[in-house]
Chain A
Amino acid sequence: MAKVSINNVRKFYGALEVIHGVSVEIENGEFVVLVGPSGCGKSTLLRMIAGLEAISDGTISVDGQVVNDVAPKERDIAMVFQNYALYPHMTVRENMGFSLKLRGSSKSEINAAVDKAAAILGLGPLLERVPRDLSGGQRQRVAMGRAIVRDPKVFLFDEPLSNLDAKLRVQMRTEVKDLHQRLSSTTVYVTHDQIEAMTMADKIVVMHDGIVEQVGAPLELYDRPKNMFVAGFLGSPAMNFIHGTYRAGDRPMLELADGQLVPIRPQASVADGTTVVLGIRPEDVVIDPQDGLSVRVSVIEPTGAETYMVARHGDAEIVCVLRERVVLNPGDTIRLSLASTSAHLFDVTTQLRLT
């Protein structure tokens, strides 16, 4: 268990800067998820923590000790890779015991540690097999076993579930989380899947193009995103963005491009006449025959518990998740209320949330 501080870290590949000064504090025993679209630098950051990439600038410390120049094996960190990276010629037992063997532990120590880890992960019957004879989920579990055998200070996961099918992914998600609760070890978990991030994290770090957009607890980020990127990235289906002009008054309104006025929640700090972007989550949109935004229904998808509806207003597409059963057909014109208290206004140029 350990505390990891990432302090203004940069990474250059030649002249190309892929990490632009990232700072994150990871507390003892915390499960931190680095999430962001592909290519935003998550793996690079993780590999710098592991010691597999040189740190171009800034510092990374583990328990207060700067580890920039410490070799991977001395950092006492374990990592689980996307493609499992099991040694193909070794049995599961040998794979899991390899790191201990390298440290010169005795045979009996290794066997005891491997058996203990295998019991935690239910790998007992597979110990004498080679990776080739395992399914994807089993390989993933062996990779995790290899990590926990060492009882390291920090666990790193790089998209460990992305090669699994959807059902197994959900199951392994729970297993990883369970494992963390059992071992309560400091964990940094990289994924591009915001659902994984939301369900697993104690703390989410949203990255984008080599910078950190926002850090916080999952619901904190969900409810109070700092900017349009975070707002649009977290949540599925994604948040709707509607451009317009803020009209202050007793009943604040959003004036759309076509002149239509739609009531929205009051925003004390926003001046009258500011061009803004209204962000509203699909589940916060409700049908309101009185004075909502007039839209044409284009797609209706009942899923049983809820109904997904896609509606159009001019160029803008609005996705709604309706809890109550409604009788609607594509082509119908209806009105949608955007007045939810959970809706946000964003500055059109800085993309920051206005409060």
Chain B
Amino acid sequence: MTDVTSTIRPAVGQASRKPGVTFVRLLYVYAVLFIVASIVLIPLVTTALGGFKTLGDLRTNPFGLPDMWQWQNYGDILFSERYWRMLWNSLFISVFTVVLTLAVAGMAAFTLAHIRFFGSGYLLNYFLLGLMFPVATAILPLFIRIRDLGLLDNPWGVILPQVAFGLGMSILLMRNFFRNVPQELFDAAFVDGCSYIRFFWSVTLPLSRPIIATVGIVAFVQSWNNYIIPLILLTSESNYPWPLGIMSYRGEYGTDWQLILAFITLTILPTIIVFFAAQKHIIAGLTAGAVKG
């Protein structure tokens, strides 16, 4: 984590010795960053501003500032019980999806990374096979299985499939990270009297914060934005997470787009906050795999 900054610093120091090159490079870097930032920010800002407009204003002037700031759009949503209930449902589902994904994927990845047993290769491939199937293809068997388990219209009926679908990627990421824990650390721990479980708990996990943050965030965001699984498996509105909540703004004759945009802005907010909070770890987790001694 701190390594990221320490590798950048000397590079900057080096470049400052040649002023001409620095300027061109800086210009280039800023241009690229600007473009990337725009791609991310324009839709976000448009959405947020759209929420302040009237429907007519939105139709004629989709990108500019609102004619009249309609604070009421946001106010109505924020003061509705419905918004908070859906946020709570989303949060409940996402948090348990993250916790379960981390627990199950972490242990599986540790086993697959460090213990050679008969069939471990097949088992890993079996998990990775899951990456090839989009959720939509499995939706009918999934529905039947969840119904048989009696989990229809129950948050756990959404959490469990989400964990299952997230396992492939999570195991892959975590296993690759765990494999970079030096073998000698293992040997030292065994001689010290560690068991596998104790090593996992006391050495692997503390060293794996970046990958845990990465996998956790990915699982959180996927769950937070998941539409199809809750759509199929939840039936009563009191159980809906927020992506389903949008539906109620679509009337028979027209859609209240300004309310949808305001609603989306308010529901995306938590994920943005979480992302900024964990940003450092995510970047380190995606770029670096090495554990430095």
Contacts and interface: CB of A to CB of B under 8 A. Distances in A.
Interface residues of B, number: 19
A82 B184 CA distance: 9
Nearest to B292: A88
Interface string B186-209: 011111111000100011001100
Given A81-B184, A83-B182, A89 B190 contact: no
Nearest to B183: A85
Nearest to B181: A88
A103 B198 CA distance: 12
Contacts of A47: 187
A88 B191 contact: no
B26 interface: no
Contacts of B190: 51-52, 72-73
A77 interface: yes
Given A86-B293, A88-B207, A79 B185 contact: no
Contact of A73 (B187, B192, B206): B192
B210 to A, nearest CB: 12
A59 B87 CA distance: 65
B191 A79 contact: yes
A72 B203 CA distance: 18
Interface in A35-89: 47, 50-52, 72-73, 77-79, 81-89
Nearest to A80: B188
Nearest to A88: B293
B177 to A, nearest CB: 14
Interface string A266-303: 00000000000000000000000000000000000000
A210 interface: no
Nearest to B194: A102
B194 A85 contact: no
A58 to B, nearest CB: 21
Contacts of A83: 182, 184, 293
B278 interface: no
B291 interface: yes
Contacts of A51: 190-191
B192 A99 contact: yes
Contacts of A79: 187-188, 191
Contacts of A98: 189, 192, 202
B195 to A, nearest CB: 8
A192 B15 CA distance: 43
Contacts of A146: 188, 192
Interface in B278-293: 291-293
B203 A87 contact: yes
Nearest to B291: A88
B193 A52 contact: no
B187 A87 contact: no
A85 B184 contact: yes
A131 interface: yes
A132 interface: yes
Contacts of B191: 50-52, 72-73, 77-79
A85 B188 contact: yes
B293 A84 contact: yes
A15 to B, nearest CB: 18
Contacts of A103: 193
Contacts of B293: 83-86, 88, 131-132
B247 to A, nearest CB: 47
A73 B194 contact: yes
A52 B202 CA distance: 20
A82 B189 CA distance: 15
A89 B207 contact: yes
Given A102-B198, A131-B293, A132-B292, A87 B185 contact: yes
Of residues B187, B190, B202, B203, which shows the largest number of chain A Cβ atoms within 10 Å of its Cβ? B187
Contacts of B203: 87, 89
Contacts of A86: 188, 293
A50 B192 CA distance: 11
A81 B188 contact: yes
B206 A102 contact: no
Interface string B254-293: 0000000000000000000000000000000000000111
Contacts of B192: 73, 98-99, 102, 146
Of residues A52, A78, A87, A99, which shows the largest number of chain B Cβ atoms within 10 Å of its Cβ? A87
A98 B198 CA distance: 11
B161 to A, nearest CB: 35
Contacts of B189: 87, 98
Interface in A222-240: none
B187 A85 contact: yes
Contacts of B207: 88-89
Given A47-B187, A85-B184, 11 more contacts: A52-B187, A52-B191, A72-B191, A78-B191, A81-B187, A81-B188, A84-B293, A86-B293, A89-B206, A89-B207, A98-B202
Smallest CB-CB A-B distances: 9 pairs: A73-B193, A99-B192, A85-B188, A85-B184, A102-B193, A89-B206, A72-B190, A79-B191, A81-B184
15 contacts: A50-B187, A52-B187, A52-B190, A72-B193, A73-B193, A78-B191, A81-B187, A81-B188, A83-B182, A83-B293, A87-B203, A89-B206, A98-B192, A99-B193, A146-B192
